[in-house]
Amino acid sequence: MKIYENVDLKNFSTIKIGGKAKKLYFPESLNDIKFLIKKSKDEDKKLVFIGVGSNTIFKDGTLDYIFISTKFLKNIEIKEEKDLFYLNLEAGVSFKEIINLVKKFNLEGFENLSGIPASLGGAVAMNAGAFGNEIFDIIEDVLWIDFDTNEHLSKKNEIKYSYRTTQFQKEGFIYKATIKLKKSKKDIAKIIKNHLIERNKKQPLNLPTSGSTYKNPPNNFAGKILEEIGYKGKRIGDIGFSDKHANFLVNYSNATFKDLMNLLESAERKVERVFNIKFEREIRIVE
């Protein structure tokens, strides 16, 4: 297991904000994960799992937590049953790598998720979604470790999940998950290409961003609400809500964590005052 000291956390967050990790661990096996969970408990330190970092923002300064990157958890196993494909994936497998498999075998079921900048573990933990679909539409089972280092292989119907949330956010670490896809007669590569073009039109992907900032309230859209209170394009220093999509935070140059938090808290206060809606963050703030 590789261990690095004084690591710039902004390099592990797509919005490029954050201080330093005193230590960052790169496990390569299930036993490494169990060791680090136990270490966290023994040393009474917070566990922070890092995937692609597309929805994670770190505070400034030096953070002395047990930071765990899934970068080297990349194993992929493929099982075919007639026209069905079962992909058993370790937590660090990226959506880009899944897309390559989907295109190779022309599989349907993943195409609406194709543009999400995520790793498998992080996407399952938050039940990531796009274009009306979510990862749990195709999940078969999840192998996870609880904070007492016990292993669990849970079928989809045994897992608690809902819109952008799952039990794993509080109960343990996702080591592997199996997704079920179907051999398609459609041109899946073309569908994926069109989805990516659509995302580029609607989202500010030319700047460092943390993706969707807030969960959509019931029967409403967070971006629409932010636009209605005048926060589309609103900035504090180098951090702002995009003028392309109001629910996306973007880093215009050298944004600070302090300015980011001030902007979030300002928006949340105004939304609650004007609409009596308490915004729920989709991004994860590590303080």
Evaluate whether 215 touches 164 at the Cβ level (below 8 Å): yes
Give phi and psi for 41, each to the nearest 5.
-70, -45
Give phi and psi for 52, each to the nearest 5.
-75, -25
Q: Which residue of the set 13, 111, 164, 210 is catalytic?
A: 164
- Contacts of residue 264, defined as CB under 8 A and 6 or more positions apart, other chains included, come to 213, 281
Angle at 278 between CA 277 and CA 280, to 5 degrees: 125
Q: How many angstroms separate the CA atoms of 43 and 262, rounded?
A: 32
Q: Which residue of the set 90, 111, 134, 282 is catalytic?
A: 282
- Contacts of residue 162, defined as CB under 8 A and 6 or more positions apart, other chains included, come to 127
Q: Which two three-digit tokens encode residue 151?
A: 């292993």
Active site residue 151: no
Q: Which residue of the set 119, 212, 242, 284 is catalytic?
A: 212
Active site residue 212: yes
Strands 56-58 and 284-286: parallel
**Which one-letter DSSP state was computed for residue 132?**
T
Angle at 52 between CA 232 and CA 157, to 5 degrees: 95
Residues that are catalytic: 164, 212, 282
